[in-house]
Amino acid sequence: MKRPLADAVRPLDLSQVVGQRHLLSEDKILYKILSSGNIPNMIFYGPSGTGKTTVANIAARVSDKQLYKLNATNASVADIKSIISELDGFSNRNGVILYLDEIQNFNKKQQQSLLEFIENGQITLIAATTENPYFYIYNAILSRCTVFEFLPISPDDILQALRRVVEIVKKEYQPTRVIVDEDALIHIANSAGGDVRKAINALEVAVLSESLGEEIHVTLDIAVDATQKKALRYDKDGDSHYDVLSAFQKSIRGSDPDAAVHYLARLIEAGDLPSICRRLLVIACEDIGLAYPNAITIVKSCVDAAFSLGLPEARIPLAQAVIFLATCPKSNSAICAIDAALHDVRTADTGDVPLHLKDSHYEGAKKMGRGVDYKYPHSYPNNYVKQQYLPDLIKDKKYYIPQNNKFEQNIKEYWDKLKNL
């Protein structure tokens, strides 16, 4: 039986893996672990189609260990013991990796049965789960494993993977000529919801839907049929995508929850969960800011929930965050302050740090006058004392200007009163 395309084109080394740069960039810990070939017990947590199985395969290859795969949905402790019974075989001379998918489906007793094999080194466990491991995996297992979170893959990275797959398909189908239009690939990438496997499966359906002949030509219309999603107006260079993101932020900034939810729906339908979440975190700080300082905490919780749930359920915490931000009081005092300070640092001579603020925690500092005249605010009434903090050249500069909202006006009133005592 012919293997599914997603399995046939699975990357064999890290250079072919897309996404997960927070784990697989050359300076990141998982990349270093895989490069060393010394594989510890690990738990891969994240949505489907984000590379968990692929990285487990690569781990087995680079460590020269025999890889056994089980799915906890239908596996049992007996299956694990069967693997253990084969450990003395020649093919297992370097040890084995057990890749246990959907480990959250093992009950506590089944998970506990893994401990003796992990602790005595008979197996190296790589477990995968789409559920938060801290809720579903027994603590004794967690304490013996390193947890790595796999994030949804961005449309750009999925597009990169699809282009590689197309080249493989072209070779496989020779002498039939295979043409896949770029807008068809973009549509499939945007429709995949961060799931590379889903995107490759859609491409496979699109190719198989065309009769074998001299030429197979996958157009945008065929891609739409294959994904069962209408083509949104996201152009080749991404202009329309960023237009929607721009309208999304401006609608929230303009306190229009209806427009904000509309543009959120467009972005969700395009499957671009990472861009939505990044933009929401930015908005919480840039546009709400000190008018409601807890906004970033609330939005971060919604974003974390969205990533944990994945689409389509992620739409619910995302909508909550969007409506919340759109109806919050607004302030951009934080971004205005830091941008003004950055402008001065980059374009002007701002002078040296005042002598009384310089580090004095080393021998000879006081002889140089460092920190000598520093006044410790906590030694004064109300934990405040007037002294110069900015360099002499900009000592009267004002970066933070409180805006007209309840929180910042309370800040202003408090400090005006305190500084005028």
CATH number of the domain within which 413 lies: 1.10.3710.10
What CATH number did the domain enclosing 303 receive?
1.20.272.10
Same domain, 134 and 47: yes
How many angstroms separate the CA atoms of 166 and 243, rounded?
A: 29
Residues 346 and 276 both lie in one domain: no
What per-residue confidence (pLDDT) applies to 152? 87
Half-sphere exposure of 262 (CA within 13 A, CB side): 9
Query: Over the stretch 138-190, which tens digit does the pLDDT of each residue have?
Result: 888 999 999 999 998 999 999 999 999 999 999 888 888 999 999 999 999 98
| Number of domains, the chain | 4
For 58, 88, 130, 273, 312, the CA distances from 47, given in Å and listed in that order, are 19, 35, 5, 12, 12
In a domain, 248, yes or no: no
Look-up: residue for tokens 């543009």? 263
Residues 113, 213 within the same domain? no
Look at residue 300 and tell me if it is in a domain: yes
Is 0.75 surpassed by the pTM of this model?
no
Kindly report the CATH number assigned to the domain that includes residue 215: 1.10.8.60
Q: Which of these, 385, 396, 395, 390, lies nearest to 419 by C-alpha position?
A: 385
In which band, very low, low, confident or very high, does the pLDDT at 128 lie, cut at 50, 70 and 90? very high
| Per-residue pLDDT tens digits for 196-230 | 999 999 999 999 888 777 889 999 999 998 888 65
How far apart CA 41 and CA 273 sit, in angstroms, is 29
- Do 36 and 101 lie in a common domain? yes
Q: Is residue 14 assigned to a domain? A: no
- Residue labelled with tokens 């799931």: 195
Top pLDDT among 39 and 134 is at 39
- Residue 103: which domain range? 20-149
For the chain, the average pLDDT equals 89
Query: What is the distance between the alpha carbons of residues 100 and 129, in angstroms, rounded to a whole number?
Result: 9
Q: Yes or no: say if 194 and 312 are a contact pair by the CB < 8 Å rule.
A: no
Q: Which pLDDT value is given to residue 232?
A: 56
CA distance 139 to 154: 32
